[in-house]
Structure 1
Amino acid sequence: MAAPPPAAAATEPHSVFVYGTLMAEEVVRVLLGRAPPSSPALLPGHRRFSLRGRVYPAILPAPGYAVSGKVFMGLTNRELHVFDMFEDEEYVKKTVEDTLEKSLTYAYIWGNEGDPDLYGEWDYEEWRKVHLKDYLEMTQEFMDEIGQF
């Protein structure tokens, strides 16, 4: 794997590849108070899955697949910490390389490769139509709970 980005030393700014609910700038605005600059991105060697009983997806390494998403750039240490808390312990933050920007960035990879709840392909547009409103409310509740840290 390529060397970790300078962000690994906790220096700003950071970049994060997102592929699920965080592709919705409305969600990111609730979390960070802004929508950082972003660009389309493609993460090779990974596959996006739905998770039974959950409205958010997971990605896992999978040769021959690629996950489309976006990279948020220019995140502060505080903003990266908010993403870390939001993604919770089920995800592992790893350094990856997206093929569109040709840059090293962080991504949150599902921590349980053998999870029996993984299935099929997660659909972003369907999620927006069906779950965005409730997800925004849940995200605001999350921010209210963590307050200023």
Structure 2
Amino acid sequence: MKLPKRTENALDKLYTAFHKGDLIPDCHAHCAVGNICDNTTAWQHLTEHHGSGKLSYVGIVHQRLGRKFFGFSPVELLQIEQEFLSGCGHSLPLYYLSRNDQLNQDDLFAGLTKVVAYLCQLENISNVMDCSLLFDYKPETSQAEEILQEA
């Protein structure tokens, strides 16, 4: 499947960060959006709190001007970060008291799974991590559908 360039770039950066151990949820430069933005922290000024979906004044201005950062609007970047942090098990927005210092690779992978699902939703394409297509499998129970939709 051919992915849009912004999604392909984002997935490449996240894949590399995950395997190099450079994916750190509570660090603005090494979280999901930090990695997408080439480990810069300028994106943090789009919101007042890490993990918040609410734009700051600066974020509102950039959003209204139609600015894109690495192909994503400010609202999209904040949503990517929310998906990642919540997938890792953090409560949002992220405060020093809500940090989970016991994160492991499984937690990070769960966060990345939510990010990939959101990126595919943004592009209006099927989830590239959904392996049910490979096995020609359709869930029969509503519980299985809920699990797939959460991923």
The verdict on a shared fold, with TM-score over 0.5 as the criterion, is no
Q: Greater RCO between the two (CA within 8 Å, min separation 6)?
A: 1
- Please, what TM-score do these two structures have when normalized by structure 1? 0.29
More helix by share: 2
- Please, what TM-score do these two structures have when normalized by structure 2? 0.29
More strand by share: 1
